[in-house]
Structure 1
Amino acid sequence: MQKVDCLIVGGGIVGVAVARNLQLTFSHLKCLLVEKENILAKHQTGHNSGVIHAGVYYKPGSLKAKLCIDGLKRIYEYCDENHLPYRKCGKIIVAVERDQLARLDDLFQRATQNGVQDLKMLDSNQIREVEPNCRGIRAIHSPHTGIIDYGLICRHFGKSFEQMGGRIALNFEAEKFLPSGDASYPILVQSTTNSTFLSRYVITCGGLQADQLATLCGGSKNPTIVPFRGDYLKLKHGTDKLKINGNIYPVPDPKFPFLGVHFTPRMDGSVWLGPNAVLSMKREGYGLFDFSIRDTIDLAFNSGLRKLAWKHLGYGLGEMRRAYSLSATVRELQKFVPALATDDVERGPSGVRAQALSADGNLVEDFVFETVDTGDLKNRILHVRNAPSPAATSSLPIADMVVAKAKECFNL
């Protein structure tokens, strides 16, 4: 049976960044990354909007705020050092109604507290200078927001990890974490096909499966992961009248947990519009009608989800309507890009976001890390329990934090 010093579960950008950083920091360790799919970046990393976030939205002092600010700087540096493509195309957050101006001002103050660089408040004429097709009363302009292919970055992290001596095992779906009886390698990790490894330590970065992996290892039941599918539209090719230079976002409503539908240019030259946020009946289901009996039962018995749904029933119904109606989504986007027409768009890809939910029905706002501190595997396992947006932007500093926690917990 193969033996390793540390086994990392999860081949998304956070898991691969953690594996790479661990191998970089402790070059003598024998590190193994396992991923249940046949490629890295199969799920959240490969289905997100590809935005490099600047840190505008997050509560001052939170991990999201701190790590996003650092992450933006470091992802650009990493790309420059390794000749990887990105575009620093900027972003505007547009107020189209006067009752949104106070929220826009609050957002500007929050971003300033977070240390977001070179922010400007634009008037209506300046908005058109940045985005000729956009209309609004005022807007925040964040020039350092960018776009990138996070799947490409994740795979590059993986290549770097392997070059340092790390190993990647694809098609390994971890199913059991058991005491091995071996004092030196006390954790037996078994896959659904009965492949096994012995390890001294385990770090899980499971994304959409984060809660299930944690409970398999003896971790706490909460927070649970609730999957929200986001459906994008795309501008049709040849829609020259609607040139979009950068990211265009609405002013978010703080009563609701999502940022609203927006325009996002892509590295391939396309423009995505959206996403909505609809409860998914399958954790890794990207189609409108994808369904999993097991995942649906989990949702049905999640008391926290029932509380969340009751609080945001009207919002949820609106998101459902936009999921099935192109015109409903277009109407939202026309509020700040009025020239957009339903004939200009077509259905695009979808992604599923892992949102951690507390037992009292509140979405967990910040990144969450947890160590297993009881039982036979005490101080041997570390979990990344919640890593929603801006985790991709923040992946390098998140990896620093996880490795620092591993050093302390595992006494490396």
Structure 2
Amino acid sequence: MDDITIIGGGIVGLSTAYALSKRFPHARLRVIEKENQWAKHQTGNNSGVIHSGIYYQPGSLKAKFAKAGSQQMKDFCEKYDINYDPCGKVIVATKETELSLLKYLYDRGIANGLDICMIGSDQLKEEEPYVEGLQAIKVPQAGIVDYKQVCETLVLLLKNHGAEMLLNTEVKNILEHEQKVEIITKVKEFNTSFVVNCGGLHSDRLTKMTGLKPDLQIVPFRGEYYELKPDKHYLVKNLIYPVPNPDFPFLGVHFTRMVNGGVEAGPNAVLSLKREGYRKTDFDLKDFSEVLSFKGFWKLAAKYWQEGAKEMWRSYSKKAFVKSLQELIPSIQEGDLEPAPSGVRAQALQSSGKLVDDFYIVSGKRSIHVCNAPSPAATACFPIGREIAEQVPEVESNQMFIKGS
């Protein structure tokens, strides 16, 4: 492959470009990003957790890539002196009804090859003195990292490799031909041999520009956080998670110690009225109309309306949010928390109303599209990047062929 363009400057796009620089060391690489900085959206607004892979269906890409990516992320941080901490986490059952779900999660973690253990309330107190729980899973593989710093390092490595790194370059159309791809941006037009779409919150729109029509649409969910005031940081040593509701695709509000020393509490999960809507007041008519006109959304809403109502209530009631946190740390009070920046998750949804649970990648004639890469995509970015790089065909005398064929 002689010329490859990657659309999207988040951690998945950058790690993909990094993997492509290894597989095709002589190819001309170009990374284009519509914003004025790298990692501005999902990557730059998450809480920096290195996930272990305990939650995911055994055999799924999420399970395999999270486990491999966790170690590879730590290795990358060690090599390039990036701030991280393999602090581990606990997943806590606070009610009798959660014990069977905790055991199910433990069995899933074992099936995924994780070195985890079940601990009782006394051992839990040793791990997290202010948490009240009946039983917990201790997950040593989890950790925390500065993903923005990871991206800064990837950008530097790509520049040193000779890649063309373009900010403020928003894609308006993609025309896929037999021998090339035209990328039309607000700034200029590019001709390239191959395109990799890592557009995150806009990945579905970019995919459809090429003529592909996968049965999915990105629906944005805003995750809202609070942060513990500095004099309350002692309440949380590392990472504290509840037992997730198996019928709801989010992990529930939890506590995350961050590498900068702060402690986040959250997130909830509410429908965002704008794909890049980080505030409650953010609204975009096109984005919102697309959601309302998509039949899959209404099927999802009918299935999860009760959970959705609870998430909305937590969004507008700090008292309700704190009540959820008190299930883990009963001593926490409203006055211990102050608002923190929100994040937006790009979640792919099918017309059937089913959330796309795994990473989802589709291919065109001269393109690959990462259509669904929610959490743990940051943790798994290096395996994702390598998987995509292996799917990019080589070109010889303007004829494409698969390596090894």
Category of TM-score, reference length = shorter chain: over 0.9
Task: State which of 359, 384, 388 in structure 2 corresponds to 1:398.
Answer: 384
Q: Which blocks of at least 5 consecutive residues in structure 1 are unaligned? A: 373-378
- The answer for unaligned runs of 5 or more in structure 2 is 395-399
Residue 21 of structure 1 and its aligned partner are, at CA, apart by 1.0
Q: Which position in structure 2 is the counterpart of 1:386?
A: 372
The CA distance in 2 between the partners of 1:268 and 1:312, in whole Å, is 35
**Identical amino acids, percent of aligned pairs:** 43
Q: After superposition, where does 1:205-244 map in structure 2 within 5 Å?
A: 205-239=198-232, 242-244=234-236
User: Using the alignment, how far apart are the partners of 1:401 and 1:228 within structure 2?
Assistant: 27
Residue of structure 1 in register with 2:292 after alignment = 300
Distance 1:112 1:172 in 2: 45
- For 1:63 and 1:179, the matched residues in 2 are separated by 28
Matches of 2:402 and 2:57, distance apart in 1: 32
**Cα offset, 1:273, TM superposition:** 0.2
Determine the C-alpha separation between the residues in 1 that align with 2:246 and 2:375. Answer: 16
Aligned partner (choices 132, 136, 150) of residue 153 of structure 1: 150
Offset from partner CA, 1:251-285 (integer Å, 9 cap, x none)? 01111111100000111111000000000000001
Could you state the TM-score of these two structures normalised by the residue count of structure 1? Answer: 0.94
Q: In the aligned structure 2, how far is the partner of 1:298 from the partner of 1:248?
A: 36
Instruction: Give me the whole-angstrom Cα distance separating, in 2, the residues matched to 1:267 and 1:323.
Output: 26
Pick one of 45, 58, 61 that aligns with 1:60.
58
Q: Distance in 1 between matches of 2:359 and 2:401?
A: 21
Retained in 2: the 8 A contact 1:201–1:410? no
Task: Deviation per CA, 1:140-199: give whole Å up to 9, x if none.
Answer: 00012100111111121111111112111110011111257xx75x21111134x11110
Q: CA deviation at 1:25?
A: 1.4
Cα-to-partner distance string for 1:72-119 (whole Å, 9 max, x where unaligned) = 0100011111111101111100001111000000000000000112x1
Contact 2:174 2:183 in 1 (8 A): yes
CA contact (8 A) 1:23 1:165 kept: no
1:376 is aligned to: none
Contact 1:263 1:274 (8 Å CA) reproduced: yes
> Within 2, Cα distance between the matches of 1:24 and 1:165?
12
Give the C-alpha shift of residue 207 in structure 1.
0.6
RMSD: 1.3
Aligned-partner Cα distance in 1 for 2:362–2:141: 32
Letter in 2 for 1:329: F
Q: CA deviation at 1:350?
A: 0.1
Aligned to 1:143: 140
Q: Secondary structure at the match of 2:231?
A: coil
Question: CA separation in 2, counterparts of 1:360 and 1:256?
Answer: 16
Aligned residues: 397
2:184 aligned with 1:190: yes
1:166 aligns with 2:163: yes
Alignment partners' CA distance in 2, 1:334 and 1:291: 32
The alignment's TM-score, normalised by the length of structure 2, stands at 0.96
Whole-Å separation in 1 of the counterparts to 2:105 and 2:368:
34
